[in-house]
Structure 1
Amino acid sequence: MKNIFWVLIAVLLVSCQTDSTLAPAKFKTIMIKSVGEVETLPDMATFHINLNCLQKSVKGSKQCLVEKSNELNSKLLSFGIKQDDILTTSVNMNKSYSWKNNSQVFEGYNSSTSIYIKLRNISKLDQIYTELLENRNLELSGLTYAHSKIDSLKNEAYVDALKKANALADKLLTELPASEKEILKIGNVEISASMPEANQSGAADGYAVAEVAAQNRAVNISKGTVLVNATLFVEYQIK
């Protein structure tokens, strides 16, 4: 009888532990997509220079391009642009034709080179552009503004996104049967909603995703300012 009594107690204990493990944890969550923004004045600029030389012979065209490239490089260095910020991206040579009197006329050999410039002192931009445009062998294009501390600005945008997410979560709590929130997950890419243990039908207990701001953009230049955006996905447990 004693042996049977202890066996029954052991079975009851195992049964209680199993019931406790399988009981689904009940909790509610809200997921918020938030976009933070930081806007500042640019302190850098980038642009492209296309240098051309048209000569009657291949040798003459090559020689012209070498001479004009060296002159241009010296000019750029005199502006205070570092050699590492002057990048030649392509060198080409093609036959050049024009259309005259209903026929194709050979003009010569056109050699060209494309150069990518990074200007770290934006205050010199007007002067540099004015002087370069006076050179009829040059074409300027692709002017883009940027900022030297873009990573720091991105971090500030993330902080702004989190503040917006917290503010929206507090507003939602006033409309929900809950008064407290706790962050479960946070990420800069979309994250999946948490589910209660052993409960795959969590949609009945959870709430939909709320979104802050209209768009998820990276870096955009508008009206002389640098606008940096950062997106966060924040999941809260509410109770």
Structure 2
Amino acid sequence: MKHTVIAALLGSVVFAAAPVFADVPDFPHLETVGVGEIIAVPDMAEIHVQVVVTEPTAAAAKQASDKAVASFIAKLKKAGLSDKDIQSANINLQPQYLYQQGKTPELTGYQASRSVTVVVRELPMLNGLLDSALNEGINRINNIEFKASNMEALKAQARTAAIKDAQAKAKAVAEGFGEELKGVWQISYMEQQPIRPVMYATARAMNDGVGESYQNAQITVTDRVQVTYKISR
């Protein structure tokens, strides 16, 4: 007599237990999750930097932040970067107050901030561009996100690996329980956020000799697919 086996293996393969899918089939079946992971060496990066200044007046704060951003963008263009790889955000201007108990808040000045995002397509340039940012008045390096220019190909490789992983798991588990796969009943796929980038938080070492360290990162591209198979003895 055919029956449904209930088992859980490492949280990723189950026989009709705690179904992953919304529709639960009324026949013996096996649900499996395939995961694909591709590790690649990045050949480009996206940097997110910011200038934050405080001045006595709103006009002075705006002027100081605009000057830093304009100077940095000029250096970027001089280095050969194109307009499409440079994005500068609008200004954020906020009054600053001194709060003391029992007293009316006292206006002490204005803080202006602007962010710049830069796509660096040649990694050997990265450290020099970060130095330029600091030299031109940019005072915050929020993060560095490493990427690969062939991302679509890496996604396709990860997807293929996930499919093969699901198939291999299903076959091995079914055979282990003396069952036989009788075709796919349902496939559930949602594209993953594929990049787990290496990031450097604010103000990482800008000392001499660190340039090469920005070229030793790795990125991981992942994908997953859920499949329900029909089974029988």
Matches within 5 A, 1:144-223: 144-189=145-190, 218-222=194-198
1:69 paired to 2:69: yes
The Cα of 1:40 is off from its aligned counterpart by 0.5
Look up the match of 1:8: none
Look up the match of 1:14: none
CA 148–30 in structure 1, closer or farther in 2 if over 3 Å, else same: same
User: Are the counterparts in 1 of residues 51 and 137 from structure 2 also a CA contact under 8 Å?
Assistant: no
Structure 1 counterpart SS, 2:42: coil
Q: State the alpha-carbon separation in 1 of the partners of residues 175 and 94 from structure 2.
A: 70
TM-score normalized by structure 2? 0.65
User: Are the counterparts in 1 of residues 184 and 229 from structure 2 also a CA contact under 8 Å?
Assistant: yes
Q: State the alpha-carbon separation in 2 of the partners of residues 39 and 73 from structure 1.
A: 33
Look up the match of 1:234: 227
- Residue identity in the other structure for 2:225: L
**Which runs of no fewer than 5 residues in structure 1 stay unpaired?**
1-25, 190-215
Structure 2 counterpart SS, 1:171: helix
Look up the match of 2:88: 88
CA 134–184 in structure 1, closer or farther in 2 if over 3 Å, else same: same
Higher helix content, 1 or 2: 1
User: Are the counterparts in 2 of residues 53 and 137 from structure 1 also a CA contact under 8 Å?
Assistant: no
Structure 2 counterpart SS, 1:42: coil
Q: State the alpha-carbon separation in 1 of the partners of residues 49 and 217 from structure 2.
A: 21
The Cα of 1:162 is off from its aligned counterpart by 1.2
User: Are the counterparts in 1 of residues 30 and 229 from structure 2 also a CA contact under 8 Å?
Assistant: yes
CA 55–238 in structure 1, closer or farther in 2 if over 3 Å, else same: closer
Matches within 5 A, 1:122-137: 122-137=123-138
- Residue identity in the other structure for 2:228: E
The Cα of 1:91 is off from its aligned counterpart by 0.5
Structure 2 counterpart SS, 1:37: strand
Greater C-alpha radius of gyration: 1
Encode CA deviations 1:18-64: one digit per residue, 9 max, x unaligned.
xxxxxxxx953211111111110122212222224555544444444
Look up the match of 1:115: 116
The Cα of 1:123 is off from its aligned counterpart by 2.6
Displaced runs of 4 or more, over 6 A: 104-107
CA 30–124 in structure 1, closer or farther in 2 if over 3 Å, else same: same
**Which runs of no fewer than 5 residues in structure 2 stay unpaired?**
1-25, 100-104, 199-215
RMSD value, Cα: 3.2
CA 123–107 in structure 1, closer or farther in 2 if over 3 Å, else same: same
Identity %: 22
The Cα of 1:110 is off from its aligned counterpart by 4.1
CA 107–180 in structure 1, closer or farther in 2 if over 3 Å, else same: closer
TM-score normalized by structure 1? 0.63
Look up the match of 2:211: none
User: Are the counterparts in 2 of residues 153 and 228 from structure 1 also a CA contact under 8 Å?
Assistant: yes
User: Are the counterparts in 2 of residues 90 and 115 from structure 1 also a CA contact under 8 Å?
Assistant: no
